[in-house]
Amino acid sequence: MRRTVLLALLACVVGCAPLSAQLALTHANVVDVERGVVLTERTVLISGNRIVAVGAGVRVPAGARVQDARGKYVIPGLWDMHVHTSREGRALHFWPLFLAHGVTGVREMGSYLDSLQHWRAAARRPGSGAPRIVWSSPMLDGVPTSWVHGYGVPDAARARAAVDTMQRLGFDFLKVYERLSRDTYLAIAAESKRRGIPFAGHVPRAMTAMEASDAGQRSFEHITNALTLACTPRGAELLDAFAKARESLGPDADSTRGALGRLRSAVAAGPEEDACRPTFARMVANGTWLTPTLAVTHGQVPPDALVADPRLRFVPPALAARWRSGHAAARPEDVQFERRMEANAWRLVGMAHRAGVGILAGTDASDEAYVFAGSGVHDELALLVRAGLSPLDALRAATLNPARYLGAADSLGTVAPGRLADLVILDANPLADIRNITRIHAVVANGRLIDARERARLLAHAAAAAARAGTAPPARR
């Protein structure tokens, strides 16, 4: 797995900086995300697409481009570990938005098979303007699939064929989804282990979070039902009682409704640390990561500031209209319930983090309400801090942790010699206040400096591309 992902990561992206070009960031404050300290008065020397030196006494070679970074803070390039860029031509405005906001790498989480192949080929062409992208297969799901772009896998025998197909097509990992049956899911898990291709995604409804972790799933996306249930006292028991009542008495029987009510109120009461502990301990032991995508939950019940956000100029008009009407139609009681669920999600993420579960920053940038491509990562980091992570740990969720998750910590995730030159230069210290992550002075993507002028050009290009972009109705079945 590691080898495949690394090869993909090293592929020529963002126009391939000429290998001889040298760039020196001088007098910089370098944020060491491993140790959690700021190193002052450093020079970061870049040659081609690699960092070659970081230090106080680094000599700047004649002919190198010098960028005075006095008073600035240099952090590793950010990663968005959950995006869907490969539908409806969305890459054309997403890619410049990622780079302009310091998001130099993303993990694509699935789309139609042919769109994935098309945009993967496009991203790899020199000068494509794409960030680094780690590519998921289409969502492997049960039949019928949850989304029209899902890839239905009806049984265990065909699970093996699906894993084979996706590996041959060159995807970096497999995405698993909600409706996979137990047998099919376990067959995918066994086959992907045998073939050395990782799988990640939702915890299917037929599995508990602990079982999926034991099966080797590399990451859990979102706070899905499985995780919520794992953190609800007597969650499994209440779900079981409801399922049995529905099966024997039918969905409309009083006792079925009663069982559902008990399950709902237990979930609404929120996660409890004692209930979560065994599942989180297993995730830590197995190395299962969590991508909470708090930005999605936040966008479901957007505060007023988000509804009037100037970043809406980067959203296709038809999609922005859909977000607005969805927001306007929300009933007060639903809003209240969603806010409670959001607070519960924050608590759960805080508990997971304290238990030692590795957290990945991901936004689900696609057509999710009020989730903005690129800058959504800044929102996600602020939400992770609200969930109880320190600014340093939130920053790690978008830098060091993705590098470790990808088995690429020797190339990514830190500002150090030998690493790929993906950097963000900030006007203020993100460890003092995570919101400083929005104060971008410049970006270095694969060794290429994206200064204020180039950023403005990328943003104008993204706004124009978004204004032209169409949008399809939700593809959920």
Give the binding site for Zn ion (CB under 5 A): 109, 364
Shortest distance, CB of residue 315 to Zn ion, whole angstroms? 17
- Our CB check for Zn ion shows the closer of 398 and 445 to be 398
Helix (H) or strand (E) holding 123: helix 113-124
Shortest distance, CB of residue 476 to Zn ion, whole angstroms? 12
Cβ(159)–Cβ(153) below 8 Å: yes
Shortest distance, CB of residue 426 to Zn ion, whole angstroms? 28
For 53-108, give the DSSP string. Answer: EEESSPPPPTT-EEEE-TT-EEEEPEEEEEE--SSTTTHHHHHHHHHHTTEEEEEE
14: left (phi over 0), alpha (psi -120 to 50) or beta: left
Cβ(389)–Cβ(348) below 8 Å: no
Residues whose CB is less than 8 angstroms from the CB of residue 390 and which lie 6 or more positions away in sequence, other chains included: none
CA 201 to mean position of chain CA atoms: 11
Shortest distance, CB of residue 110 to Zn ion, whole angstroms? 7
- Our CB check for Zn ion shows the closer of 82 and 448 to be 82
- Our CB check for Zn ion shows the closer of 86 and 213 to be 86
Helix 235-249 × helix 254-268 angle, to 10°: 160
- Our CB check for Zn ion shows the closer of 191 and 368 to be 368
Shortest distance, CB of residue 285 to Zn ion, whole angstroms? 26
- Our CB check for Zn ion shows the closer of 221 and 342 to be 221
Question: Closest CB to Zn ion belongs to which residue?
Answer: 364
- Our CB check for Zn ion shows the closer of 364 and 380 to be 364
189: left (phi over 0), alpha (psi -120 to 50) or beta: alpha
For 302-326, give the DSSP string. Answer: --HHHHT-GGGGGS-HHHHHHHHHH
Q: How many CA atoms lie within 13 A of 1 on its CB side?
A: 19
CA distances from residue 137 to 84, 182, 213, 271 in whole angstroms, order as listed? 12, 20, 20, 32
Shortest distance, CB of residue 289 to Zn ion, whole angstroms? 15
CA distances from residue 76 to 236, 254, 275 in whole angstroms, order as listed? 41, 56, 36
Q: How far apart are CA 241 and CA 224, in angstroms?
A: 20
- Our CB check for Zn ion shows the closer of 377 and 425 to be 377
- Our CB check for Zn ion shows the closer of 179 and 455 to be 179
- Partners of 57 in the β-ladder: none
| Integer-rounded Cα radius of gyration of the chain | 22
Shortest distance, CB of residue 178 to Zn ion, whole angstroms? 12
Shortest distance, CB of residue 152 to Zn ion, whole angstroms? 18
Residue 408's SS3 state is coil
Shortest distance, CB of residue 190 to Zn ion, whole angstroms? 25
Q: How far apart are CA 16 and CA 447, in angstroms?
A: 8
- Our CB check for Zn ion shows the closer of 172 and 364 to be 364
Shortest distance, CB of residue 196 to Zn ion, whole angstroms? 24
Shortest distance, CB of residue 57 to Zn ion, whole angstroms? 46
Please give the single-letter amino acid code of residue 140.
Answer: L
Number of H helices and E strands in the chain, helices first, is: 18, 16
- Our CB check for Zn ion shows the closer of 267 and 295 to be 295
- Our CB check for Zn ion shows the closer of 177 and 280 to be 177
Residues whose CB is less than 8 angstroms from the CB of residue 45 and which lie 6 or more positions away in sequence, other chains included: 22, 23, 24, 51, 52, 53, 54, 58, 60, 61, 64
